[in-house]
Structures are given as structure tokens and as C-alpha cells.
Amino acid sequence: MSKGLTPLKTIRSKCYDCSNHQPKEIRFCSVIECPLWPYRLGHRPTTEDTETHLQARTALDERNRKEHTTG
């Protein structure tokens, strides 16, 4: 009887599918809007990873806000 995948392995599998089965593309994924992005490498993100992701999301949100107000 198979136990199935852990949540992190399930996320990794989804990222593998999304990257067209190219493992290197998972590491270099630029889709930071994806809620799975911090978990894409198959492990829980460290505090540093979380802070980097938050900074990137904040910068992206700010850029999008500027584009919509000046566009």
C-alpha cells in the first residue's frame, strides 16, 4: 500500500509540472506571485528565504502600482 506524497513533495511535483519537467527551471522560477514559490525547492523556506520572497513581492507590487497609476 502506497502512502502518497508529503505536502512538500506534492508542491515540488506541481512545480516540476509547471516548469515543463525541467528541474533547473524550478530553481530559477520567476513567478513569485505563485503561493507555492517559497516551497518550490521541496523544503520549508528559511527565514532568509521568506524575507527575500517578501522583499521581491513588495518590489513587484510597488512596480505594478506605479504602472497602473501612470499608465
Instruction: Report the pLDDT value the prediction gives residue 11, as an integer from 0 to 100.
Output: 93
Looking at the domain assignment, is residue 1 inside a domain? no
* Maximum Cα–Cα distance across the chain: 58
The answer to whether 53 and 38 are in contact (CB under 8 A) is yes
Instruction: Report the pLDDT value the prediction gives residue 1, as an integer from 0 to 100.
Output: 45
Looking at the domain assignment, is residue 34 inside a domain? yes
What residue numbers bound the domain in which 28 lies?
A: 7-70
Looking at the domain assignment, is residue 29 inside a domain? yes
pTM of the full structure: 0.65
Within a 13 Å sphere around the CA of 5, how many CA atoms are in the beta-carbon half? 9
For residue 36, what are the contacts with CB-CB under 8 A and spacing of at least 6? 11, 14, 15
- Residues 30-46: pLDDT tens digits? 898 898 988 988 888 88
Instruction: Report the pLDDT value the prediction gives residue 69, as an integer from 0 to 100.
Output: 81
10: which DSSP letter? H
CB atoms within 10 A of CB 41: 16
Instruction: Report the pLDDT value the prediction gives residue 71, as an integer from 0 to 100.
Output: 58
Task: Give how many domains the chain has, as a whole number.
Answer: 1
Looking at the domain assignment, is residue 24 inside a domain? yes
